[in-house]
């Protein structure tokens, strides 16, 4: 029987790279997307073309009923859940705190914090041996911003990822005796579309000289770390972090 994995926000970028690599490692994968159905279906087609199983499910991670429907769909179409990658996240235009609205903060926190909590809740319900599950693993995609704070750009996004770090530590301890491991990766300057969402598509080119390795990272390099944390090779790792930041 295939291991079953949900990767939230996996129509492109780090999520897509993770879904594709996971499929090659033997997972049946649920690719989730909010709007870009075509991109999600392309990822599914690539997985199926390699002889693996995948489905695409639309879900806004900021909406609880969407999350519940997502997990119930996976139950029906792929089978018992083995792993979750909480990758879905948003940021908005670069700005300082004094120009941020309450509505912006609510949007960021609802997706990046509440959505991650609720997806983790649904995964624990299914995977915990206390609930009759077979155990599993959760990997949260945090950010190097949780450490640096992203001053002058998006401290709200950074703070939301700080909350994800705290969730990782607390939940790992909470379910350690229920055969669930919870870890996180903190990507640094990775070549994905998220920088355009912040208003600066070429942000990595501006900042890469400040990275000890003098380059931006690739989505697959983050995916490699995620898949290691999901694997049995990381069987004694929980509540921990891998910084994929080029040393920044």
- The pLDDT of residue 156 is 98
Which of the following is catalytic: 33, 157, 191, 236? 157
**157 is an active site residue:** yes
Q: How far apart are CA 88 and CA 14, in angstroms?
A: 10
Average pLDDT (159-186) is 98
pLDDT digits (tens, 9 = 90+) for 173-204: 999 999 999 999 999 999 987 766 667 778 88
pLDDT digits (tens, 9 = 90+) for 6-64: 999 999 999 999 999 999 999 999 999 999 999 999 999 999 999 999 999 999 999 99
Share of the chain above pLDDT 90, in %: 91
Q: Where are the domains of the chain?
A: 3-244
**Residue, of 162 and 192, whose pLDDT is higher:** 162
Task: Name the superfamily (CATH) of residues 3-244.
Answer: NAD(P)-binding Rossmann-like Domain (3.40.50.720)
Average pLDDT (112-127) is 98
pLDDT digits (tens, 9 = 90+) for 64-84: 999 999 999 999 999 999 999
pLDDT digits (tens, 9 = 90+) for 216-242: 999 999 999 999 999 999 999 999 999
CA 226 → CA 48, 71, 135, 233, distances in Å? 21, 20, 18, 12
Q: Is the confidence at residue 106, as pLDDT, over 90? A: yes
Q: Is 100 helix (H, G, I), strand (E, B) or coil?
A: coil
CA 7 → CA 58, 95, 138, 142, 151, distances in Å? 12, 29, 10, 14, 29
Q: How far apart are CA 106 and CA 102, in angstroms?
A: 6
């Amino acid at each position: 029987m295939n291991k079953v994995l949900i990767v939230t926000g996996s129509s492109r970028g780090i999520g897509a790279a993770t879904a594709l690599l996971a499929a090659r490692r033997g997972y049946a994968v649920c690719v989730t997307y909010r709007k870009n159905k075509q991109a999600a279906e392309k990822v599914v087609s690539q997985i199926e073309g390699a002889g693996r199983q995948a489905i695409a499910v639309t879900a806004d991670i900021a909406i609880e009923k969407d999350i519940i429907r997502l997990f119930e769909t996976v139950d029906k179409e792929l089978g018992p859940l083995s792993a979750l990658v909480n990758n879905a996240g948003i940021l908005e235009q670069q700005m300082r705190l004094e120009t941020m609205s309450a509505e912006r903060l609510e949007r960021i926190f609802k997706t990046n914090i509440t959505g991650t909590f609720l997806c983790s809740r649904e995964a624990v319900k299914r995977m915990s041996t206390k609930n009759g599950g077979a155990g599993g693993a959760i990997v949260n995609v945090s950010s190097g911003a949780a450490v640096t704070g992203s001053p002058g750009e998006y401290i709200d996004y950074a703070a939301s990822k700080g909350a994800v770090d705290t969730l990782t530590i607390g939940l790992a301890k909470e379910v350690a005796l229920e055969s669930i491991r919870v870890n996180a990766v903190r990507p640094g300057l990775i070549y994905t579309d998220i920088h355009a969402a912040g208003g600066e598509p070429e942000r990595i080119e501006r900042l890469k000289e400040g990275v000890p390795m003098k380059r931006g990272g690739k989505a697959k390099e983050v995916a490699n770390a995620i898949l290691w944390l999901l694997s049995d090779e990381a069987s004694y790792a929980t509540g921990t972090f891998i910084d994929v930041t080029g040393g920044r």
